[in-house]
Structures are given as structure tokens and as C-alpha cells.
Amino acid sequence: MTSANPKRITVLGSTGSVGAQTLEVIGTFPERYQVVALAAGSNAEKLAEQVRRHRPERVSLADPEAASALGEALRDVEVEIGVGEAGLAAVAESDADLVVAAIVGAAGLPPTLAALRAGRDVALANKEALVMAGALVLREARASGARLLPVDSEHSAIFQALGGESRESVSRLILTASGGPFRTWSDDRIARASVEEALDHPNWEMGPKITIDSATLMNKGLEVIEARWLFDVPPERVDIVVHPQSIVHSLVEFSDSSVIAQLGLPDMRVPIAVALAHPERLELDLPRLDLATIAQFTFEAPDSKRFPCLDLAYRALAGDEAAPAVLNAANEVAVEAFLAGELPFPGIASTNAAVLEAHLAKVAKDGSVALREIFDVLRADAWGRGCARDILSNGENT
């Protein structure tokens, strides 16, 4: 079914991996989608190409020099060009039916909140918004009546498996994890893992930060936090199972013990298309899943002894509203240090654990921190980063 009026789409982070794939899907259906606004960081050249192809009304770049280069490159095109935080906010609040939030990291939180506050439905590819500020993001969405649609592949799988079922009939969400490159490695071998080995993900091609998070399984921990908020289920009802083939993208168990899974070859264009078209489906020209060729799926329990980051996510969820933001901040600092060769691989988990414990000890002494506004989130984030840097510079984990 094709609607008479094209759906108006804004993409935040349009030159990144998910943003560019979103425009690729949109470009296949010009009668269904109209791009109204785009925001990117500093890649003026790629954004200029996207503007010529998709003709948005408004764009913005974070970097001022890149924005003036974009203005030069697009002198013959009628488009509003913004810059910095104000430009990004204007793009986020543009009159769209759906905002695809695909800016990586903490920078994606303010425009996501701005879009929700303006009542725009948001397709969320930015995990950090829910990890750092789940309670706040949910409150904003409820207040304006905006919808949150998942783009993360596991959460898209759960969203699809849930269909129209009532929340009361859901007994468990089961996130699948590939297990990362060290799934079969011994403790000793993991302790000596190099940056190159950690960056060698078996199934998905992704940026370095999320690839390291897949090796530590912190990514799955962050996805537990994401699922807790996105589907509004208590953490004890979110489970993880390791599935090295990455074909079953996640599952939902219902009260009658029935389990519904979503399957497919790993390709981010599928969850992107699901979010864009919901409640319809797009016809995508992609390789089809051939079960007889794959022949075998395997599943195993995650090993939280070799991969302690998993338990940290649950521990953070059991803490106050700020604890997941603190854990996320510590992890970003620790992963950076590992990538720079300043920290051995197990140091990521031990740094994260030490920072989280320090935060929880502070909460036990001074009381919980509530996330009332973005300032509270940024303060928790800054505290986590500072604490992680202190621990790293004291060499406690190296």
C-alpha cells in the first residue's frame, strides 16, 4: 500500500553508517518518503551529495568550518544550512513524521530529546540516549505522545516479535548475542588480547567503539538497559543467550510459554526499513535466509565470569537512575584507553566495575541521583568519565 502523501523523514547523523543506510533505503522509495532535514558532524562532502540527491529543506553540521564549506558547495541549491547545537536542534524539531536518531554517543541525546519534546516520532539507532537517560527519554515521549521505534537489530526483533500483543502477556525478552571474537577463548588468552584481535568481529561490520563493546559483551549489557526502557520491562525479565550465527536476532517469551523469534541475515537495512515503514513492510531487494544452507543454529549461556561487563549492566539497573549513565561514561573512557594501547583488555571491565562501585557507594552515602533534566544526565556522565580517568591514571588496572 502506498500512501498518498509521502512520509516526511529527518535523519540525525546522516553521514554515519546507519544514517547513510537509512538514506539508501529511502532513496529506493521516492514515492513513499520525503527527506525534510539532515544533520551530520563534519563530513561536508558527503552531506552535500546527500542534499543534491534527497533535496531536504534544512541541514546542519556540528563543525563550523565544515558548515561554511557546505555553503560553498551548495551555492546553487536552495537549502537552509545551520551549524552547531542550534542548527542540530532546528533539524531535530523540523516538521517531520519520523526522526531517525543515528548520531553516535552522548552527542545524540540532546537532539533526540528535542525531537521527542516537539512530538516527533523517533526511530532510535542511538543506544546511548536510552542507556544514559532512559527514564528522562520515556518521560519526554509520554508527555508529548511521541513514539519510540527501535533500530538496534535486537530491539527491532523484539518489537517485531511483540506485534500487537499486550504487555501483560510478555514474560521474558531474550536478547541474542554473537558472543564476539573471544567467545571460545580462555581467561588467559583474553587477558592478552590485542586491539586487532578485539576489532575482528565475526558477523557484523561496525565502528571501533561498538566492536570493542561486542568483544567485552558490554554492548549486550547496554542493550539490556536499552530494552528495559524501550519495552518498559523490569530488568529481571530481560535475558541474554549467546547465538554465534547472528541469525535469530532476539526472542520474546509469552505467559503461555510460547516463544516468538525474529530471524534474518544480519543486515542493518532490515531494522531500518521496519522502523521507517511501520506498520507496513517495504519490499527490499536483499539476499533471503536459506535455513537448509545454514543447517544449524547453536545457543549457549553467556559466561559472566569471562565477560563481567554483562553483570555490570544489571547492577547499574538495580542502582539509581544515574548509574547506567555513569557505567556508560566509564566504558567510553576505558574503551578509548584500550584502543590507545594504554589498558589491557580485562582492564575495560575492571575499570567499569570500579567506577560503578564508586558511584553506588556514593549513592549509599548521599542518596540516589534522579535524572530530571539533561543537565543531570550530563553531570552523571562527567562524573563517570572523571572517575574512570582517575582510576586509569593511578594505574590501578594496568
Distance from C-alpha of 39 to C-alpha of 57, rounded to nearest angstrom: 12
For residue 198, the minimal CB distance to Mg ion (Å) is: 17
Beta partners for 250?
175, 262
Q: What is the dihedral of CA 185, 388, 131, 97, to 10 degrees?
A: -110
Distance from C-alpha of 332 to C-alpha of 179, rounded to nearest angstrom: 20
Closer of 93 and 152 to Mg ion (Cβ): 152
Contacts 24+ apart (CB under 8 A), 161-165: 161/250, 161/251, 161/252, 161/260, 161/261, 161/262, 162/231, 162/252, 163/260, 165/252, 165/254
Distance from C-alpha of 14 to C-alpha of 96, rounded to nearest angstrom: 15
Among residue numbers 103 through 162, which ones bind Mg ion (CB under 5 A)? Answer: 152-154
For residue 205, the minimal CB distance to Mg ion (Å) is: 13
Distance from C-alpha of 212 to C-alpha of 67, rounded to nearest angstrom: 31
For residue 151, the minimal CB distance to Mg ion (Å) is: 9
For residue 217, the minimal CB distance to Mg ion (Å) is: 12
> The sheet that has 259-263: what strands, in order across it?
238-242, 170-177, 248-254, 259-263
Closer of 50 and 246 to Mg ion (Cβ): 246
Strands 148-150 vs 33-40: parallel, antiparallel or unpaired: unpaired
DSSP state of 118: T
For residue 233, the minimal CB distance to Mg ion (Å) is: 17
- Ramachandran area for residue 39 (φ above 0: left; ψ -120 to 50: alpha; else beta): beta
Closer of 46 and 201 to Mg ion (Cβ): 201
Residue of minimal Cβ distance to Mg ion: 152
Closer of 62 and 206 to Mg ion (Cβ): 206
For residue 60, the minimal CB distance to Mg ion (Å) is: 27
Closer of 152 and 320 to Mg ion (Cβ): 152
For residue 126, the minimal CB distance to Mg ion (Å) is: 12
Q: According to the binding rule CB under 5 A, does residue 226 interact with Mg ion?
A: no
- Per rule CB under 5 A, count of chain residues that contact Mg ion: 3
For residue 108, the minimal CB distance to Mg ion (Å) is: 15
Among residue numbers 10 through 39, which ones bind Mg ion (CB under 5 A)? Answer: none
Closer of 153 and 351 to Mg ion (Cβ): 153
Closer of 154 and 332 to Mg ion (Cβ): 154
Query: Alpha carbon of 389 to those of 19, 195, 352, 371: distances in Å?
Result: 31, 20, 11, 23
Closer of 121 and 152 to Mg ion (Cβ): 152
> Which residue carries 523469534 as its cell?
261
| List of residues contacting Mg ion (CB under 5 A) | 152-154
